């Protein structure tokens, strides 16, 4: 049978744990300091154990007090998220908030989200671009989309569904390829553009068997793949482009793939959503649309690789 502890007393305990003093907890709840102390004392009587060590002026929780306050706080947070979703649903029953890796947001989602909006009139979408892996767990998002190794991301209340892997290939402008890629596939006086957060050049040379020029070539480091691609499109060097960010420029001819090798990523893009929150109709529609759009994109990529006889090697 579920234990029925007084809600007022639980609120007093939560406020004391969050704010650190009975005085601050009393001000937060609009009651007197003795009232906070009395409520927590009643909890102790109901539970038959001490929750707070009253030997000093500051609040010091016992182990039982810590366990209860942490779980009570989590429960109140869940209630707050649920009520916020209900309020948003009343005002805008078709609203979505999505937290997305910045490169995926700019290179893929922004290019396709219009199709979703046209096919789902009345749906409001708020897209927030963030550095990969910054989940902002204290905020309420319908979905989070990031890349990484499967199962290595935050778990808890977040469920993870893999969207797809991608392919990494060296890319540069046609003129740069003619000037810096030799007939045998060697790089000649090339400037290698590197994303310091995702550098797969060493793997590419090792797995494809191409000659690594090492110190014989120049290297420029950036902190985002999109910056590497911008430099490559301006003729500034050769970089590794993945098939989400670089594919539009490859298809348009702005960039070319001067080698017939690519690497399938060891990591993957995934979509994360709260397991405790039932999906709204708008969320169900978005999820289905996203998986179908990614599947179609991957089919186009594989057709391109096949047509141009580009061999892909899986990284582990």
The pLDDT tens digits of the residues spanning 98-112 come to 999 998 998 899 999
92 pLDDT tier (thresholds 50, 70, 90): very low
- Specify whether domain 7-89 bears CATH 1.10.10.10: yes
Q: Residue 1: its pLDDT value, please? A: 41
* Stated pTM of the model: 0.68
Could you tell me where in the chain the CATH 3.40.190.10 domains are found?
92-165+267-300, 167-264
The pLDDT tens digits of the residues spanning 13-23 come to 888 888 888 88
If you write DSSP's letter for every residue of the chain in order, what string do you get?
------HHHHHHHHHHHHHSSHHHHHHHHTS-HHHHHHHHHHHHHHHTS--EE-SSSS-EE-HHHHHHHHHHHHHHHHHHHHHHHHHHHHH-TTEEEEEEEHHHIIIIIHHHHHHHHHHSTT-EEEEEEE-TT---TTS--SEEEEEESTT-S--TTEEEEEEE--EEEEEB-HHHHHHHB-TTS-B-S-EEEEETTS--HHHHHHHH-----GGGSEEEEESSHHHHHHHHHTTS-EEEEETTTSHHHHHHTSSB--SSEEEE-SSEEEEEEETTSPPPHHHHHHHHHHHHHHHHHHHHHHHHHHHTT-EEEE--
Return d(Cα 269, Cα 166) in angstroms, integer: 8
The pLDDT tens digits of the residues spanning 227-280 come to 999 999 999 999 999 999 999 999 999 999 999 999 999 999 999 998 888 888
- Specify whether domain 167-264 bears CATH 3.20.20.140: no
Q: What is the pLDDT of the chain when averaged over all its residues?
A: 88
Could you tell me where in the chain the CATH 1.10.10.10 domains are found?
7-89
Q: Residue 290: its pLDDT value, please? A: 97
Is residue 2 over pLDDT 60?
no
Q: Residue 86: its pLDDT value, please? A: 66
Is residue 84 over pLDDT 80?
no
CB 282 within 8 A of CB 95: yes
Hey, what CATH class is 92-165+267-300 in?
alpha beta
The pLDDT tens digits of the residues spanning 149-200 come to 988 877 778 999 999 999 999 999 999 999 999 888 889 999 999 999 889 9
91 pLDDT tier (thresholds 50, 70, 90): very low
Distance of CA 79 to the CA centre of its chain: 24
Angle, helix 7-19 to helix 63-91, in steps of 10 degrees:
100
């Amino acid at each position: 049978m579920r234990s029925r502890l007084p809600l007022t007393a639980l609120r007093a305990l939560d406020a004391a744990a969050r704010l650190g003093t009975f005085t601050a907890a009393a001000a937060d709840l609009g009651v007197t300091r003795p009232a906070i102390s009395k409520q927590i004392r009643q909890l102790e009587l109901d539970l038959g154990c001490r929750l707070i060590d009253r030997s000093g002026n500051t609040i010091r929780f016992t182990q039982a007090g810590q366990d209860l306050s942490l779980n009570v706080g989590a429960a109140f947070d869940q209630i707050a998220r649920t009520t916020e979703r209900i309020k948003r649903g009343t005002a805008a029953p078709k609203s979505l908030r999505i937290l997305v890796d910045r490169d995926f947001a700019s290179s893929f989602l922004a290019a396709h989200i219009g199709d979703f909006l046209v096919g789902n009139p009345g749906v409001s979408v708020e897209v927030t671009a963030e550095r990969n892996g910054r989940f902002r767990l204290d905020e309420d998002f319908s979905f989070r989309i990031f890349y990484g190794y499967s199962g290595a991301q935050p778990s808890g209340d977040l469920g993870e569904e893999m969207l797809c892997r991608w392919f990494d290939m060296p890319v540069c402008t046609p003129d740069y390829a003619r000037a810096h890629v030799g007939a045998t596939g060697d790089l000649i006086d090339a400037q290698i553009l590197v994303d310091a957060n995702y550098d797969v050049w060493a793997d590419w040379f090792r797995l494809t068997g191409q000659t690594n020029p090492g110190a014989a070539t120049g290297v420029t480091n950036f902190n985002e793949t999109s910056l590497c691609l911008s430099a490559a499109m301006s003729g500034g060097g050769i970089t590794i482009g993945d098939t989400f960010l670089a594919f539009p420029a490859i298809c348009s001819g702005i960039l070319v793939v001067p080698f017939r090798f690519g690497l399938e990523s060891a990591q993957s893009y995934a979509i994360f959503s709260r397991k405790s929150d039932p999906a709204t109709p708008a969320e169900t529609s978005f999820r289905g649309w996203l998986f179908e759009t990614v599947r179609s994109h991957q089919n186009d990529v594989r057709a391109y690789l096949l047509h141009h006889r580009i061999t892909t090697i899986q990284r582990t």
